[in-house]
Structure 1
Amino acid sequence: MPTTDLPDFLQDTKGTLTLQDRRTLTEQALVLFTDNYVHLPLKTAMHAVHPVQRLRLLLTRLGRQTEQTVDPEWRFHAELASIFHSVRDLHTNYLLPAPFAGRIAFLPFLVEEYHDTNGPRYVVTRVVRDFTAPAFGPGVEISHWNGVPIDRQVDLSGNRYAGSNPAARHSRGLQVLTLRPLITHLPPDEEWVVVTYTGTDDKTHELRVKWQVTENLPPFVNAGELSEAAAAQGLDLAGDEISRATRMLFLPDVVALEAAGGPAPEDLTTVPAEAGQDIPSRLPSLFRARAVQTPSGVFGHIRIFSFSTRDPAGFVAEFVRLLGLIPQRGLVLDVRGNGGGHIHASEFLLQTLTPRRITPEPTQFISTPLNLRLCRRHATNPTRFIDLGPWLRSLDQAVETGAAFSATFPITPEAGANAIGQQYQGPVILITDARCYSATDIFAAGFQDHAIGKVLGVDDNTGAGGANVWEHQLLKALFEEPLPADTTSPYRPLPGGAGMRVSIRRTVRVGALAGTPVEDLGVVPDVRHRMTRDDVLHDNRDLLAEAGRLLAAEPVRRLDATRDASGASIAVHTEGLDRIDVFVEGRPRTSVDVSDGDSTVTVTPAAGAGDVIRVEGYSSGTLAVCRTLADGT
């Protein structure tokens, strides 16, 4: 992994943008904020900001400059980035051009936070291979950062960057202490950092460490292309960049395994895991699955690192495979640090954990003439992967009614969100933090809205990114394809390889919180756990113990079912259920009372060879589990 010291890297970043280039970038930012940005009224109210006026002022200043008097390019980048950051929306970014794009500035260690009786503490948890310093390594506690008490430095750092609520700002402030994606953040102002820490020898030390720059791992999805994956993006780009950099710097074995196409076929076990065993995943950068021993019993633990995929069906299939190999008495589903990705992938997973029908979180555009033109152009799904027809009528009516937003419709197809049904019947606990964002916010909201299980949060709420995000490049392409192109499109090519992203459709909740926006509010956990020293240094020991305690308190319901060849009867095994209802091709056939154990249910008239049978299990009148049986199952 070739690296460059920050000063050497900056020698090659003098910039090539002309004065007209800067005007073009500012004008295009104005188009996004005034005509596309769905959160503008909310952000103006909640954060007392005015990005549109700031952009107009920037244009005015640029109009007074000449090529001889123009500001240094870094100052223009800083101002434009600051305007985007001001709305505290990790979806809405100014993307710096080369050589910043694709690069990460880093210090050779990670810092994490835990709490004890004296409040927050900050310790080193990972160190880059071959980096050494006196009495320095995982477990050393940092007290000061460049002479500033570290808790104060974390808050100062968080206030510089987007984060829609205090928990998200604090978490992001800690994250960017040592990792800065240069596509969304300007390089650090300082060339080195002085860290004060209590070493492994229990003495106080100071370490001066240089910022370095290296090329990051590439993203999973090109969000600027015309594709379903780009149109269904719900991703914190900076968080995703940091996640990839973390794997590259601190988990090179995972990167090598991913580069090799995943584990060899012979390494993919088909035997359920026992306590302490990891289950190799075909997608090691996206999943980690294992059986964990807790004081309350042995449970499954699946970590979902990202929803960034071009293949939602394959993503779900791998999740289902892992579900079949973990203990079936309870699942700890851990999405901490997951910045999102493909919205379909996130919402397709929900059905596998509940017998209830999934209603995807609906979305809406802000009502503007440009969004109306966009929906009208793509109202009949001409490109196959995007159909904006459902939003067209309400946007058209808004001209007369003055409605601020369109009607709400889901991005995720409801049929796909319910195509395979429940695959895991044990109780489930979802673990979240303030770095859960976008598609992961949507997933957590759906988990809570459908009452799948308790949400255990290590922060006060999730990152609160409730939107579908589109890049400027994608918006431009949507006015150019299908042919003929719209020659009156306001989108112009961005000079210098720069980019921009904008929240285009906002999500709102369903269920008990129906209509509540996800943006800025996020998902509030049912139970709060403060990370301990054992958590950050010993693989989440106390966090998993708390999750196990919550799982052990939940009832376990079980329904196994097998149809006979004729389709006239179903052999069932039940636990914790008192009634079974049988549906054939969606129509009710029979309802019988049951008790724990084995029994046979007669289906009259018999189900046809190709008919889908759904067997629902109830406990005290509440739907608890279900099985879907196709031909031969």
Structure 2
Amino acid sequence: MTQTSRVTVLQPRQAMDDAVADDSLPVELTIQVGTGDAALAGSVPLHEFVATAGTLTHADRVVLVDQALVLMEDNYVHLPLKTAMHAVNPVQRLRLLRARLGQQTDATMDPERAFHAELSEVFHSVRDLHTNYLLPEPFAGQVAYLPFQVERCVEGTARRYIVSKTASGVSDPTFRVGVEVLHWNGVPIERAVAVAADRFAGSNRAARLARGVESLTIRPLKLHLPPDEEWVTVTYLDADGVRREFRVPWLVAPNVPPMADAGAVSTAAASQGLDLLTDEVGRAQALLYAPRAVEQQLGAADVDLSTQPAAPGADVPTSMPLVFKARSVVTGSGTFGHLRVFRFAVPDPHAFLAEFVRLVELLPQDGLILDVRGNGGGHIFASEFLLQTLTPRRITPEPVQFLCTPLNLAVVRQHATNPIGIDLGPWLRSMEQAVQTGSIFSSAFPITPGDEANATGQRYFGPVVLVTDARCYSATDIFAAGFQDHAIGKVLGVDDNTGAGGANVWTHGLLARLLKEPVPDPDSPYVALPNGADMRVSMRRTLRVGALAGTPVEDLGITPDERHEMTRRDVLEGNLDLLEHAGRVLAGMPRRRLDVSASLSGGTLTLEVDVAGADRLDVHVDDRPRASADAADGHRTIRVEDVPGARTVRVEAFAAGALVAARTRGV
């Protein structure tokens, strides 16, 4: 299918500013925008897809609103906070919607799109990307998209919106990577982004604006209704400074399936901290712009994994290309590792940790740029497992709290003895006492097991800079908070803060199953949702540790130590200025090294230690202190006598009395 549109093209910008210049006269062109060569397999024009929607009955709508009331009123942990911070009352809005439904019938009810829009708006009103109405079939699993990506950057004091990627659905030769977008459907682009931002549920302004830009070209239909417009007219400046217009239709295609099942009754499902929208967008962007990574991740392409350290400027292949991208980068301040972590949404956090360790040990050891921009979170275990690999300090996972309600108490009581792998026992006593004390929240305990969060130990010893943006959410907020709370390194933000999603999220389906197992609760208020619809709710809120102990992450997020404004070179040339900035930060941080080999002979343990950036070494054998020695940069041999049965040794390095590195080895 091909659509034809007539557009007006003006002369270069300098002529546009001169009202009397002859070459400012408009010139009409006709351009072709094809949909037959769409970027994704199975794509159809938006109007064809919309024609398949609209099968909910009046009874179905009643069920959806009633179940939304249960989640909001009896499960939602942030309800007191959101009501106060954003002056909203989602419970009353749902009651009003329910009352209106009571006056309607199948013959008189509102159009289905209007119903979906109103119910979605109630969820959006709390500005919580964990708490969602997930649309039924045929929306679930589909994504509406335009075959290009727009990103924001700064030039001087001016904000620019640049096309950073194009896919195969773009057939106009002048509309390519690097053009500047000026208007969107006739609206100045800055205003168009602000309008889009107001429709989305970011917890703070930076998060809403980031999602506003993102939503211009890609909208997962599991969470958002299809666009109202069937096509978009983009006004832009081409490479020669000529002002042009380009009309492109919205397309709909199946998205890459999620990597984890959030509805199963499992520890993984109960440990999710995921901005589903960002995860859906990320998978769709990979399908559009990195299809090879999708093929590799899904097992359709072989990956040749290297065992050699990365050469300067080289990539390190990974077995998880939708999760990681690792490379050595050369900056003006030195050669460092750059490791992108695209998501924590993985089915196996231990395999995730093992691949992270493998990659980080192959990267340059003089400094690491750990980049989590656009990471919407996932498995909380995975995010908190990583912290130990970057620091010698013991990791304290973030604790979480339930809202004390009778329904939440019933769920916790049902799983207080860990009968099917979800152990809610630690929270039970405080929730039972809340009946007498009137406490709003339960006591706080971590989701991630403390022993597992420290079982691997430090594996990277150079300085680390964490790069964040406003799309970092949920488990990534938790990771960034832990990184900052444990003083692992510097946080360099391209936005003023992270997305500020501080919760563990459960689906309606998981809640319903939890009150059915191991023995059904006859008083369970949960009923099956129609047509494959679902809902998610923030179930347990997270609190920070360390110097900010007890501070909630929700709505506050993590404030970076330094800010970087994205530049045109960042958008178009692989983050060059951002990496240079991160390199300068790394160059100003202390560099450490601690390599240890151990051998045992006749009860004597011999350690060969290479160290840098420390003045003292302490040796623990099987968790007992056995030796201490002064240190200086270079090689040191340490012998520990009378340890015939030694199995593990831990060497701790100190500088000016502070623990700066630690390595554990088997003997």
TM > 0.5 between the two?
Answer: yes
2:569 pairs with 1:529? no
Give, in angstroms, the shift of residue 268 of structure 1.
Answer: 1.1
- SS of 1:185's equivalent in the other structure is coil
Q: Which letter maps to 2:377? A: G
Tell me the residue number matched to 1:518: 553
**May I ask how many residue pairs the two structures share in their alignment?**
625
| Contact 1:464–1:518 (8 Å) recurs in 2 | yes
Alignment partner of 1:260 out of 265, 288, 299: 299
2:43 pairs with 1:3? yes
Partners of 2:321 and 2:549 in 1: CA distance: 35
Q: Which letter maps to 1:292? A: V
Partners of 1:440 and 1:304 in 2: CA distance: 10
Alignment partner of 2:120 out of 70, 78, 81: 81
Q: Which letter maps to 2:462? A: G
- SS of 1:217's equivalent in the other structure is coil
Task: Note the 1:24-39 alignment, pairs <5 A.
Answer: 24-39=63-78
Of 100-109 and 219-228, the range deviating more from structure 2: 219-228
2:582 pairs with 1:543? no
Alignment partner of 2:457 out of 396, 421, 426: 421
- SS of 2:131's equivalent in the other structure is coil
Q: Which letter maps to 1:444? A: A
Tell me the residue number matched to 2:269: 230
Alignment partner of 1:583 out of 610, 620, 628: 620
Q: Which letter maps to 2:500? A: A
Of 125-134 and 183-192, the range deviating more from structure 2: 125-134
Tell me the residue number matched to 2:13: none
2:519 pairs with 1:461? no
Q: Which letter maps to 1:187? A: P
Tell me the residue number matched to 1:171: 210
Q: Which letter maps to 1:71? A: D
Partners of 1:501 and 1:607 in 2: CA distance: 55
2:131 pairs with 1:92? yes
Partners of 2:157 and 2:664 in 1: CA distance: 52
Task: Note the 1:438-449 alignment, pairs <5 A.
Answer: 438-449=474-485
Bigger Cα Rg: 2
Partners of 1:258 and 1:375 in 2: CA distance: 36
Partners of 2:530 and 2:610 in 1: CA distance: 65
Tell me the residue number matched to 1:71: 110
- CA deviations 1:421-455 (Å, max 9, x no partner) are 00000000000000001010100000000000000
Partners of 1:269 and 1:451 in 2: CA distance: 32
- SS of 1:123's equivalent in the other structure is strand
- CA deviations 1:167-217 (Å, max 9, x no partner) are 000000000010001010011011111110001232000111111111111
Partners of 2:596 and 2:493 in 1: CA distance: 35
Give, in angstroms, the shift of residue 575 of structure 1.
Answer: 1.1
Give, in angstroms, the shift of residue 295 of structure 1.
Answer: 0.3
Tell me the residue number matched to 2:194: 155
Partners of 2:109 and 2:436 in 1: CA distance: 45
Tell me the residue number matched to 1:307: 344
Alignment partner of 2:58 out of 15, 19, 23: 19
- SS of 2:233's equivalent in the other structure is strand
Structure 1 unmatched ranges of 5 or more: none
Partners of 1:33 and 1:416 in 2: CA distance: 33
- CA deviations 1:500-523 (Å, max 9, x no partner) are 000000101000110000001000
Tell me the residue number matched to 2:430: 394
- CA deviations 1:72-99 (Å, max 9, x no partner) are 1111111100000000000000000010
Alignment partner of 2:591 out of 540, 546, 556: 556
Task: Note the 1:170-249 alignment, pairs <5 A.
Answer: 170-249=209-288
2:182 pairs with 1:143? yes
- SS of 2:339's equivalent in the other structure is strand
Partners of 1:295 and 1:413 in 2: CA distance: 41
Tell me the residue number matched to 2:37: none
Q: Residues 607 and 451 from structure 1, CA distance in 2 versus in 1: closer, same or farther, beyond 3 angstroms?
A: farther
Q: Which letter maps to 1:506? A: R
Alignment partner of 2:311 out of 251, 274, 285: 274
Tell me the residue number matched to 2:36: none
Q: Which letter maps to 1:6? A: L
Partners of 1:132 and 1:460 in 2: CA distance: 37
Q: Which letter maps to 1:505? A: R
Give, in angstroms, the shift of residue 607 of structure 1.
Answer: 5.7
- CA deviations 1:562-611 (Å, max 9, x no partner) are 112235231211112110111122221122111122222222432624x2
- SS of 1:445's equivalent in the other structure is helix
2:634 pairs with 1:594? no
Give, in angstroms, the shift of residue 130 of structure 1.
Answer: 5.1
Partners of 1:585 and 1:170 in 2: CA distance: 52
Alignment partner of 1:323 out of 345, 351, 360: 360
| Contact 2:392–2:659 (8 Å) recurs in 1 | yes
| Contact 1:262–1:283 (8 Å) recurs in 2 | no
Partners of 1:332 and 1:218 in 2: CA distance: 29
- CA deviations 1:380-407 (Å, max 9, x no partner) are 11012x1000000110111100011001
Structure 2 unmatched ranges of 5 or more: 1-40
- CA deviations 1:20-72 (Å, max 9, x no partner) are 21111111001101111000011111111100000000010001112221111
- SS of 1:509's equivalent in the other structure is coil
| Contact 1:582–1:591 (8 Å) recurs in 2 | yes
Alignment partner of 2:517 out of 455, 459, 481: 481
Q: Residues 130 and 172 from structure 1, CA distance in 2 versus in 1: closer, same or farther, beyond 3 angstroms?
A: closer
Partners of 2:356 and 2:254 in 1: CA distance: 30
- SS of 2:362's equivalent in the other structure is coil
Give, in angstroms, the shift of residue 226 of structure 1.
Answer: 1.3
| Contact 1:262–1:281 (8 Å) recurs in 2 | no
Partners of 2:541 and 2:527 in 1: CA distance: 25
Partners of 1:445 and 1:119 in 2: CA distance: 31
| Contact 1:262–1:282 (8 Å) recurs in 2 | no
Partners of 2:277 and 2:616 in 1: CA distance: 49
Tell me the residue number matched to 1:342: 379
Partners of 2:102 and 2:462 in 1: CA distance: 64
Tell me the residue number matched to 2:403: 366
Tell me the residue number matched to 2:144: 105
Give, in angstroms, the shift of residue 134 of structure 1.
Answer: 4.3
| Contact 1:287–1:304 (8 Å) recurs in 2 | yes
| Contact 2:650–2:663 (8 Å) recurs in 1 | yes
Partners of 1:104 and 1:513 in 2: CA distance: 39
- SS of 2:541's equivalent in the other structure is strand
Partners of 2:612 and 2:595 in 1: CA distance: 9
Tell me the residue number matched to 2:35: none
Q: Residues 613 and 370 from structure 1, CA distance in 2 versus in 1: closer, same or farther, beyond 3 angstroms?
A: same
Q: Residues 607 and 172 from structure 1, CA distance in 2 versus in 1: closer, same or farther, beyond 3 angstroms?
A: farther
Runs of at least 4 residues off by over 6 Å: none
- SS of 2:600's equivalent in the other structure is coil
Q: Residues 22 and 601 from structure 1, CA distance in 2 versus in 1: closer, same or farther, beyond 3 angstroms?
A: same
Partners of 2:406 and 2:387 in 1: CA distance: 35
Q: Which letter maps to 1:167? A: A
Q: Which letter maps to 2:148? A: F
Identity %: 61
Partners of 1:196 and 1:607 in 2: CA distance: 76
Q: Which letter maps to 1:372? A: L
Of 227-236 and 430-439, the range deviating more from structure 2: 227-236
Partners of 1:244 and 1:573 in 2: CA distance: 43
- SS of 1:590's equivalent in the other structure is strand
Q: Which letter maps to 1:608? A: G
| Contact 2:147–2:169 (8 Å) recurs in 1 | no
